[in-house]
Structure 1
């Protein structure tokens, strides 16, 4: 895979690319706290099937950088979606198969809902991944609230300092908790850990987990997107939605079916946790191929 970069919107986005230059575009986006290594095994499988696979580092990760020191280091969902759209525009990609989970899945879902003309098909970890911020103050069941400890931790200045002090230790703790059956080891974590050394990582992460609960304002540049997301728009595109049955932070999203009004397939990866593509690369690649086939049917 080749590492490249392109100016896109407010960022210089770094990304990995593999597959034929004239292949069908496929953009796969990672989550928190992960990076493009999530797709290290999936991408070659898709390239062999003719895909031009693009793996962007999200804002605040790896070599991706803000172009201006004055741009707010927002981690809100609308900013992630705007970055993905800007990347497509910068690369001259009119339509693509999109896939992702966690933060990357959120960006992919938003594009699929608001800019469906730019998306061929969607693969989404944890199904309808668009935050309902106006309802973020509604309590969940206690066992679900307990899994959100890190979010509440980041709401405090103590959590902010903790992330500044040892971002790698926090990331590794979350990897273990969210994927209890994934024996990833030092070498696998070590390939992703440098991505968290990005100078904007802490501020982007803290803003993300505070904004989704309405605790801090968003970047005004994305207010028009956030306004549309309040309505929780449906996704009408061909979609494969996936959960892991051992996900330590997500209780399952089979109930999201009503949010999808187009061809839809819900799957559960056995013994998989939160980092679905890296834990089950072959199954994830097949989901991408199946989603594309749904769009071609």
Structure 2
């Protein structure tokens, strides 16, 4: 059925058709299933829209990819396969993947009103310790699920932590995420510069890294919530990448934070990955 529907379009390339046959992407045309309500984000590779699912009147988010080269498609398909393997209230979950009428990929996800980054910018001030504690708990629950599923997010930061209309905090943006090998190791350079763990930067020398990279990035995200920006943000990104492995672990600047909060952060940003807490132990 899927193959017949795909061939009926007459325009899919073989590698796109293979994704339909394999059940990764639906042959249904999303333009008749969803109605755009408003644009909520624009990027180099995709635009994101708030939309209405006409089948059940559910509000969803649709990520519409702009380009369709073979290399870019392979990356998109990797993200789709990753999303199909996860299901948690602490993650933005996949609702479907489609080829539009012009054969661009649309990924349909849970809709969330905004990100933690948006909240910080709207407030124009850092978050309170109690607010950071509540958000951190939910992010750690999401990381616990991913790590127990042998998956690494690799891009934890405020822009990738979303908040739903009813206040549920969810991890999002799994474009850089990876299914780890059975020993939990990865070796590719993935992540956002200011949040990236030292061992990712040094991966070409040391070989591999694992789940603790998410804990480091989570710790930098905690500082971001407490200070509005990650450490070294005043530097150019390439300079920050040089200094992260060289410097001592970052700490909070103000002396108003509790001793317990400082100790919690220190467990997240230990330079040696072995010394970091796990998502479970930090809960």
Q: Structure 1 length normalisation: TM-score?
A: 0.25
Say which structure, 1 or 2, has more relative contact order (CA 8 Å, 6+ apart): 1
Q: Select the structure that is richer in helix.
A: 1
Larger Rg: 2
